[in-house]
Amino acid sequence: MTDFLTRDPTTPTADEMADIERRKGMDERRLEEQKRFYEIASQRAKELDVHMEAFRRKVIERNGLRDLFAEIRKKKHLDDLDPEYRKFAEWLRIEVAATLYHLFLAEDNSPELFAQFKRIHSLVPYGALKQVIRFTNPAAVMTSVLDLFMAQPMGAKSLLQRIFLYAVGDGVKSLQQSIESLTARLVSEEKQGGEKNRVLCEKIRNYTYGPDEVKQKIRSEAVEEKTDLLVKLLQSEDVEPELSPDQIGRAFNAYVAWDDAVTNVNEPEMRDAAELYAQLKQLLKLYTRQRDKKMMLEMVEEPNTLRLFRDLFTIFYEPLVRVYKSANVYNSVTDFASFASDAIQTIEKAQRADVSADPNQTVQSFIDLCERHEADLYKFIHEVHIHDNGLFDKLMFWIEGILDFLRNGPPSGQKLDVNALFQGSVDSGVVDKEECVREINALIKWQMARKRWHQDKTRQKMASGGTAQGDQAVAAGGPRGSAAGGGAGGRGSGMAGFKSSDFGINALDLQDMGLEEDQSDDEVSSDEEAEAADPIAAERKRRKKNQDLLRRNAGEPEKPQVQECYKMMPGFVEMLRMVLA
């Protein structure tokens, strides 16, 4: 690798150096623009916090959701809504604007995502879709719409398949390019074996696309022997081509060198073997990702899958289609097409804008985009609700029933008497009293110790300036940063200030679920990029993360073994059904 990087050095020309500096400056200004965008959007959203609190109180009170939709049903225009609801619409406008900016401008993959959005927008036949919804019988409208998307004229791919092909096909092509590049590098590197590596690459590919039974067998053997999957794969005789003892020994030596390189600073003579194994592992991951995407495409192309899609859509959307027909919402198809076209123009204008442009103007352009089309969206929602024949009232009643149960328990007011359950189980001989009491006491002690451990961990985080507050915000139901605010600025205002306790969910229960340990999509994406750049460093980072996770969980009380208490489960289920009935 050192020889590859240092051989035949090239000195950039003055123009190339100027271009490099110019690109660096543009990247820095773009990052600053993103930060300013989120700061401005956050400030504007913060100005509405007082109104959001009033909106939150209205929604979480009894029948709050039904009152909200009743207001939408009564008021024909957005400006006619009560002040709290208008302020919520204004807050939502800012959030949607920031989300659009985040998706199509701020992320590393935003250009690809925007290109996919434009292609799909150009493929959808909005005019034909509008006429289908307008003139087709309501009972058959969804089938007709699905026929439009799933028809395969002369055996060609359907429109839905083409959309999936555009969405997933780019990823497959990108992975194929990475595979070809990595394979060529493995075969061309004389220090790493050159042509001898071709058989290793072929074996990895055959394993990836081989029978599931063989793969499961190899995985099980790797787990049992506590060795790396790639080592067992290369040693296996079930995957062609079969390697010679010398080749297997060379692969195992490469594994040893790789493991040593991850944990220590490697000697130069072992570095080549370590890089060989790291590249083979990377090749296995690339083949696996490519296979998964290809399987997704194959699944969509299956005739039975298309029929299943059609049946499911017909079942679940037929009631809504009747509403759409009676509400004359076919015009909303044109409204959505207009919004998509307007959004494309706004994003392209922002892309062409000079990086020194005022972030206030960028923020305002996206907010104006949402403002231009919010009346059409409200008209659609209003028309649907005044022609729903009670459908949405029933839906809101069902949702509020769940929320009311979470907050206040069953409507009957009855409670599940665990003491009676225990005594009845003892009297009937289902459980052994002494053993059951011992297990219950052990569980109580474990739960108390676990709460103390959680409190100590939180105090340690706060004392060390860690992310305790962020974790508590997550546990309380607020996001680390909204989809629109995952970048600079960290706009973590939450969904209009709602907390988990508003819906009867205890914050500690969410904390116990370990939500703070979840990786964000951005972290996963950055890990993949780092792995492609330096697999050994990426593996070292991954192991460090695992060690940090183990360290964070160090000292957590171990849950005691419970067997006798589980025997009360049938009685518990029966009593629970009686309480909920």
Q: Please indicate, yes or no, whether residues 129 and 34 belong to a single structural domain of this protein.
A: yes
Q: Please indicate, yes or no, whether residues 545 and 400 belong to a single structural domain of this protein.
A: no
- Return the C-alpha torsion angle 405, 408, 410, 416, nearest 10: 120
Q: Please indicate, yes or no, whether residues 422 and 553 belong to a single structural domain of this protein.
A: yes
Q: Which of 226, 286, 227 is nearest to 258 (CA)?
A: 227
C-alpha to C-alpha distance for 576 and 418, rounded to whole angstroms: 10
C-alpha to C-alpha distance for 371 and 365, rounded to whole angstroms: 10
Task: Give me the residue label for tokens 């919402």.
Answer: 329
More confident residue, 50 or 255: 255
Banded pLDDT at 521 (limits 50, 70, 90): very low
C-alpha to C-alpha distance for 291 and 298, rounded to whole angstroms: 10
pLDDT > 90 in the chain, percent: 7
Q: Please indicate, yes or no, whether residues 62 and 126 belong to a single structural domain of this protein.
A: yes
Question: Is residue 239 domain-resident?
Answer: yes
Least confident window among 109-123, 189-203, 263-277, 505-519: 505-519
Question: How many domains is the chain built from?
Answer: 3
Q: Which of 462, 472, 569, 550 is nearest to 511 (CA)?
A: 472
Give the helix ranges, DSSP H, for 387-417.
391-408
Question: Is residue 306 domain-resident?
Answer: no
Sequence-separated (6 or more) residues with CB below 8 Å from residue 446:
557, 558, 559, 560
Written as one letter, the residue type at 274 is A
Highest mean pLDDT among 179-188, 426-435, 494-503, 512-521: 426-435
The predicted pLDDT at position 42 comes to 75
The predicted pLDDT at position 568 comes to 92
Tell me the pLDDT of the chain averaged across its residues: 76
Q: Please indicate, yes or no, whether residues 213 and 281 belong to a single structural domain of this protein.
A: yes
Question: Is residue 312 domain-resident?
Answer: no
Q: Which of 348, 355, 484, 365 is nearest to 30 (CA)?
A: 355
Question: Is residue 55 domain-resident?
Answer: yes
Q: Please indicate, yes or no, whether residues 333 and 199 belong to a single structural domain of this protein.
A: no
**Is pLDDT of 579 > 50?**
yes
Q: Please indicate, yes or no, whether residues 127 and 180 belong to a single structural domain of this protein.
A: no
Contact 66, 27 (CB under 8 A): no
Query: Is 484 in a helix, a strand, or coil?
Result: coil
Q: Please indicate, yes or no, whether residues 123 and 177 belong to a single structural domain of this protein.
A: no
The residue among 284, 301, 318 that closes a domain is 301
Q: Please indicate, yes or no, whether residues 397 and 506 belong to a single structural domain of this protein.
A: no
DSSP 346: H
pTM, rounded to two decimals: 0.53
The predicted pLDDT at position 56 comes to 73
134-143 CB contacts, 8 Å cutoff, 24+ apart:
134/330, 138/321, 138/322, 138/324, 138/325, 138/326, 139/318, 139/321, 139/322, 141/321, 141/324, 141/325, 142/313, 142/314, 142/317, 142/318, 142/321, 143/310, 143/314
**Is pLDDT of 372 > 90?**
yes
pLDDT single digits (tens) 474-489: 333 333 333 334 443 3
Q: Please indicate, yes or no, whether residues 271 and 377 belong to a single structural domain of this protein.
A: no
Banded pLDDT at 318 (limits 50, 70, 90): low
Residues spanned by the domain of 506: 418-466+490-580
CA 314, 320, 323, 324 torsion-angle sign:
negative
Q: Please indicate, yes or no, whether residues 563 and 430 belong to a single structural domain of this protein.
A: yes
C-alpha to C-alpha distance for 381 and 13, rounded to whole angstroms: 60
More confident residue, 575 or 321: 575
Sequence-separated (6 or more) residues with CB below 8 Å from residue 432:
564
Query: Is 1 in a helix, a strand, or coil?
Result: coil
Question: Is residue 90 domain-resident?
Answer: yes
Contact 299, 306 (CB under 8 A): no
Question: Is residue 370 domain-resident?
Answer: yes
Q: Please indicate, yes or no, whether residues 287 and 384 belong to a single structural domain of this protein.
A: no
**Is pLDDT of 343 > 90?**
yes
Question: Would you tell me how many other CB atoms lie within 10 Å of the CB of residue 143?
Answer: 19
The residue among 370, 387, 408 that closes a domain is 408
pLDDT > 70 in the chain, percent: 76
Banded pLDDT at 339 (limits 50, 70, 90): very high
